[in-house]
Structure 1
Amino acid sequence: MTAKPLLSALLPLVSDLSRELPEQERYRRLLQALRTLLPCDATALLRLEGEWLVPLAVDGLSTDTLGRRFKVSEHPRFAILLATPGPTRFDSDTALPDPYDGLVEGLHEDLHVHDCLGCPLFVDERPWGLLTLDALDPQRFDSLDLDALEAFASMAAATVTVAERMAHLAMRAEDEHQRAELYRQASGQQPREMIGQSPALQHLRDETRLVGSSDLTVLITGETGVGKELVAQAIHQASPRARQPLISLNCAALPDTLVESELFGHVRGAFTGATADRRGKFELANGGTLFLDEVGELSLSVQAKLLRVLQSGQLQRLGSDREHHVDVRLIAATNRDLAEEVREGRYRADFYHRLSVYPLLVPPLRERGADMLLLSGFFLEQNRSRMGLDSLRLSSDAQEALLAYPWPGNVRELEHLIGRASLRALGQQGRRAAILTLTAADLDLRAPLGGNPAAIAHESDLPLELDLRQATDAFQRRLVQGSLERNPHNRAAAARELGLDRANLSRLARRLGL
């Protein structure tokens, strides 16, 4: 290849470096120039993020390629390209699987024989990502000068460097709470649909739309696992603040010493480890919505400080006397009876009334009838996709078992049950069938733990050879294990269910070997 075609391809990219272009447009022009320089059927630009390659732009590949994340260890071609300093061309008859099999536009059969090459990109002498080229003609790159691709890769590295620096400057120009919302969206934490058609759920939807249009503080109550965070997301999306951030904090996940810092922020030197100023959740949510989950876990002292912010909109970061004004809509959630907590002196009455301006009760799953099967369908499809199955469905006896079960763990319990049963059924199948059907045996729905201890630890459930201490430990182990399974990642909720202090639950679980 002569220098003239290479120069013709690179000059527009050099010109683009000094122009303010959207990132996607910059990358689109980059791949367009690459296909002009090295004619092929498909190209892609992928960025290395840890152990994953993330497509930033594609040309000639299906659009859904941009939504995929390629784990390098699962794709040997990508691993070889990243491990090689310069361009690499693969033999047309190589046995290595192609990551783009089935993704080339206009090609519906497998990529059995074709021409494929790629080149790593380096930014600041560190691997940044890959450029890949694929041609359906197995001899397309026979006369290719790989030096031309390497020169183009240098310009591509300059392009991505400029794009990233511009993006970084734009990021710094934005307010931090807007960035937080962009990060939340980029991580895929988009509000999920409330699935179901029952009257109870329809009433909840109506209430959600009604209160969403206002700016009232909402207290969402309901049992563990009913989907209180999902309701909070729906309220935010129905509100005039929907384009502003929804910031969440699980109050049970942090000790009291950190809750204040998370809520109000801190200044440098406020406590050991505070090496820089940091905004709290209230400031990040300014203009939008703050969702406080497990709000029943807040200490009385934190309740008092929160009350002041709710009344005046003024807050102070830890270690600072400076006042910050925030405009935040508050949504809180709890599975506790806060009115009872107030009567028992464990919760401030004034704070409770500030929270419960508009109370919303999320119905338990056992009161939603056939919604059970709709939700099961949602989780079945998730697991079908995750496991690479053609079809995943429920047998009639499995449906009957689901409808008959009381669901103490609600929707979260159903989600985990479907995941477990799918994996169990796949393991027992021994081979990948076109259709995998879950039976009642796969679901293994037993009477839930909790409620009447006599029903849980019926004498026939325990081996006769156990002494009193062993039987007591076995009984406690079943109770604790069942509560922890119904309240995953939430020791505080499990402790409340068992009537224990959270620290005592942790000690008991360790003693029982859980």
Structure 2
Amino acid sequence: MTAYGVKLTISATLHALIPLVADLAEELPERERLRRLLAALRTVLPADAAALLRLEDGEWLRPLAIDGLVPDALGRRFRIAEHPRLAQLMAAGQAMRFAPDSTLPDPYDGLVQAPQGALHVHDCMGCVLQVGGATWGLLTLDSLTQGRLSGPHALAVLQAFSNLAAATVTTAERVSGLARSAARADGGGSAAREAESAPRSMVGQSPVMQKLKADIALVAQSDLTVLITGDTGVGKELVAQAVHARSARAGRPLVSLNCAALPDNLVESELFGHVRGAFTGALSERRGKFEQAHLGTLFLDEVGELSLAVQAKLLRVLQSGELQRLGSDRGHHVDVRVIAATNRDLVAEVEAGRMRADFYHRLSVYPLHVPALRERDSDVLQIAGFFLEENRSRLALGGLRLDADAQAALLQHAWPGNVRELEHRISRAVLKALSRAPAGAARSGVSPHRPRMLTLRVQDLWDDEQPGAAAISGAQAAIQSDVPGRVPASPMAVDVPALGLRAAVEQYERQLIEQSLARNGASWAASARELQLDRANLQRLARRLGVQAPRKP
């Protein structure tokens, strides 16, 4: 490359970064700031997708921002040892590009947003980001077209951009750090770990999850007792782990007890401990959960299952930290932060006489409600991505993806079992898809008995069930109801037996979207609110169905 060429490429990179520097003075969410960084990079290098991945615990790379990848990619965590390309990029320490005929499996195969049938990455390059003299993460670029990233100046451009991107990331982190420090000062708390340090972090960026994470950050800095409520399977234990991980007690034990899993005659011994001979089978002295959690946190799951007698005995330790082991007259003092969780309506339990009012108020000092999955919009795909990567790793697969219909079905489902149902459904679907898939050509790092790419379809997720049927019926009822200002939808003239369920559902969805756009003056945002969908999801669904917004007058 000539000196003129180097200057030209660096000049183009600087030109692309100028708006990003201006953004630093703006109040922007960190994820949006980083997404703009990737969008600027794609204006300099003609990639189909870009990603910014942060190094965690020295062995994981977690996407913080993506541009051009499917939504579930944002929920994945890549173990470096299982992805040879990522490992080589980390080891290189500078910008590098893989040969188009490289046999190494690409972690983004099937994850680039592309026309049907274009699954495999044919051009790939990346660069390590150094922040403060240490490796911060990776910047990656991928193309579905061979040779697209092979220009003579491509590596120099990426290297120059990565240096400037590292400076941008550093500044953004400092701004976020100052905001967190200010929040801690207002709350009177001390430094704490991030919630993501938990083995399974809370995935999702929906407004309700952003609020929950903000509440966690606030209450974690105190020693207040926390009551976590929410439906079965929403991840209440993850919330408890996040509160503990961000508290000043993070270096101390987090002890858990499932109150519903023990008979009444053992709950008191489990909580407070016992002395030898306290009851039949008590052959030695034993510490209870409260003493085990001394200076740390005690998580009482399913706390609504405790009997009234045990509730009365818990009141004293919650108030003063004083307890007595079963069968002993000697008192013990413990310093424990209590976090409780339940899927019951405890106010109703108090009114019904199944819970003491004073016990409820001792627990509910700072309530946290975990939203149901159906309230979390496009978080469903991010969480699905997390479970897909877990299954890919566990089963030694080359790649694991959802096709467009499977993504739509996941978004339409009501999820009565919440995140736990999604996890189990993904795991079952992977096994079903694996059973019908022929073994693919073996590649480095991939088992020869596993296919190179495994795609999950609707039939894998749902056998003979009707995915999204409840949601579609609810949408139809809402549209046809007598709502002021809303134009009722005309009856759908579809011969369902002739078309089949999927074609009928797609035609009905197409009709709903077209009518909503017509009513709302071709506004995607207004139509998304009316149809109770995320705007980006609505536009993706419309593209798949071939719907275009009418021209605005």
TM (norm. structure 1) is 0.50
Q: What is the alpha-carbon distance in structure 2 between the residues aligned to residue 257 and residue 396 of structure 1?
A: 53
- Supply the AA of the counterpart residue of 1:317: R
Partner of 1:329: 337
Within a 5 Å distance, the mapping from 1:323-472 to structure 2 comes to: 323-431=331-439, 432-444=450-462, 446=465
Partner of 2:138: none
- Give the Å deviation of 1:190: 4.6
Deviations 1:261-309 (A, max 9, x none): 1100011111111111100000000101100000000000000000111
Q: What is the alpha-carbon distance in structure 2 between the residues aligned to residue 448 and residue 279 of structure 1?
A: 49
Q: Is the CA contact (8 Å cut-off) linking 2:234 and 2:373 kept in structure 1?
A: yes
When residues 245 and 448 of structure 1 are mapped into structure 2, their CA distance, relative to the original with a 3 A threshold, is farther
Deviations 1:59-117 (A, max 9, x none): xxxx98xxxxxxxxxxxxxxxxxxxxxxxxxxxxxxxxxxxxx9xx99xx9xxxxxxxx
Question: Are residue 265 (structure 1) and residue 273 (structure 2) matched?
Answer: yes
- Supply the AA of the counterpart residue of 1:284: Q
- Structure 1 residue runs of 5 or longer lacking an equivalent are 1-62, 65-101, 110-188, 456-514
Given candidates 299, 320, 323, the residue that maps to 1:312 is 320
- Give the Å deviation of 1:238: 1.2
Partner of 1:197: 205
Deviations 1:245-276 (A, max 9, x none): 11000000111111111100011111111111
Within a 5 Å distance, the mapping from 1:201-240 to structure 2 comes to: 201-240=209-248
- Give the Å deviation of 1:433: 1.8
Partner of 2:151: none
- State the percentage of identical aligned residues: 69
Partner of 2:308: 300
Given candidates 230, 243, 247, the residue that maps to 2:251 is 243
- Supply the AA of the counterpart residue of 1:355: L
Within a 5 Å distance, the mapping from 1:62-141 to structure 2 comes to: none
Q: Is the CA contact (8 Å cut-off) linking 1:220 and 1:332 kept in structure 2?
A: yes
Q: What is the alpha-carbon distance in structure 2 between the residues aligned to residue 279 and residue 302 of structure 1?
A: 17
Q: What is the alpha-carbon distance in structure 2 between the residues aligned to residue 297 and residue 448 of structure 1?
A: 34
SS at match of 1:419: helix
- Supply the AA of the counterpart residue of 2:455: T
Q: What is the alpha-carbon distance in structure 2 between the residues aligned to residue 447 and residue 401 of structure 1?
A: 9
- Give the Å deviation of 1:430: 3.9
SS at match of 1:332: strand
Deviations 1:168-193 (A, max 9, x none): xxxxxxxxxxxxxxxxxxxxx95421
Partner of 1:493: none
Deviations 1:399-445 (A, max 9, x none): 00000000000000000000000001101114232100000110017
Q: What is the alpha-carbon distance in structure 2 between the residues aligned to residue 288 and residue 192 of structure 1?
A: 20
Q: What is the alpha-carbon distance in structure 2 between the residues aligned to residue 430 and residue 257 of structure 1?
A: 54
Q: What is the alpha-carbon distance in structure 2 between the residues aligned to residue 218 and residue 382 of structure 1?
A: 30
- Supply the AA of the counterpart residue of 1:441: Q
Larger RCO: 1 or 2 (CA < 8 Å, sep 6+): 2
Q: What is the alpha-carbon distance in structure 2 between the residues aligned to residue 314 and residue 448 of structure 1?
A: 53
SS at match of 2:274: coil
SS at match of 1:360: strand
Q: Is the CA contact (8 Å cut-off) linking 1:384 and 1:390 kept in structure 2?
A: yes
Within a 5 Å distance, the mapping from 1:471-482 to structure 2 comes to: none
- Supply the AA of the counterpart residue of 2:384: S
SS at match of 2:287: coil
SS at match of 1:203: helix
Q: What is the alpha-carbon distance in structure 2 between the residues aligned to residue 341 and residue 368 of structure 1?
A: 27
Within a 5 Å distance, the mapping from 1:18-97 to structure 2 comes to: none
- Supply the AA of the counterpart residue of 2:335: D
Q: What is the alpha-carbon distance in structure 1 between the residues aligned to residue 390 and residue 467 of structure 2?
A: 25
Q: Is the CA contact (8 Å cut-off) linking 2:276 and 2:284 kept in structure 1?
A: yes
Partner of 1:26: none
Question: Are residue 279 (structure 1) and residue 287 (structure 2) matched?
Answer: yes
Q: What is the alpha-carbon distance in structure 2 between the residues aligned to residue 354 and residue 415 of structure 1?
A: 34
Question: Structure 1: which 4+ aligned runs deviate by more than 6 Å?
Answer: none
- Supply the AA of the counterpart residue of 2:276: R
Partner of 1:490: none
SS at match of 1:216: coil
- Give the Å deviation of 1:385: 0.7
Q: How many residues align?
A: 270
Q: What is the alpha-carbon distance in structure 2 between the residues aligned to residue 252 and residue 333 of structure 1?
A: 11
- Supply the AA of the counterpart residue of 1:427: S
Q: What is the alpha-carbon distance in structure 2 between the residues aligned to residue 297 and residue 427 of structure 1?
A: 41
Q: What is the alpha-carbon distance in structure 1 between the residues aligned to residue 316 and residue 451 of structure 2?
A: 60
- Give the Å deviation of 1:391: 0.2
Deviations 1:328-385 (A, max 9, x none): 1100000000000000111100000000011110000001111000000000000001
Partner of 1:476: none
SS at match of 1:193: coil
TM (norm. structure 2) is 0.47
Partner of 2:537: none
When residues 331 and 373 of structure 1 are mapped into structure 2, their CA distance, relative to the original with a 3 A threshold, is same
Deviations 1:121-155 (A, max 9, x none): xxxxxxxxxxxxxxxxxxxxxxxxxxxxxxxxxxx
Q: Is the CA contact (8 Å cut-off) linking 2:409 and 2:467 kept in structure 1?
A: no
Q: Is the CA contact (8 Å cut-off) linking 1:191 and 1:234 kept in structure 2?
A: no
Q: Is the CA contact (8 Å cut-off) linking 1:219 and 1:355 kept in structure 2?
A: yes
- Give the Å deviation of 1:448: 9.1
Deviations 1:446-478 (A, max 9, x none): 3699x9xxx9xxxxxxxxxxxxxxxxxxxxxxx
Q: What is the alpha-carbon distance in structure 2 between the residues aligned to residue 345 and residue 253 of structure 1?
A: 22
SS at match of 1:333: strand
Q: What is the alpha-carbon distance in structure 2 between the residues aligned to residue 226 and residue 347 of structure 1?
A: 23
Q: What is the alpha-carbon distance in structure 2 between the residues aligned to residue 336 and residue 302 of structure 1?
A: 18
Structure of higher CA gyration radius: 1
- Structure 2 residue runs of 5 or longer lacking an equivalent are 1-57, 60-83, 92-102, 104-196, 440-449, 475-553
Q: What is the alpha-carbon distance in structure 2 between the residues aligned to residue 309 and residue 415 of structure 1?
A: 37
- Supply the AA of the counterpart residue of 2:205: Q
SS at match of 2:347: helix
Q: What is the alpha-carbon distance in structure 2 between the residues aligned to residue 440 and residue 376 of structure 1?
A: 14
- Supply the AA of the counterpart residue of 1:439: R
- Supply the AA of the counterpart residue of 1:436: L
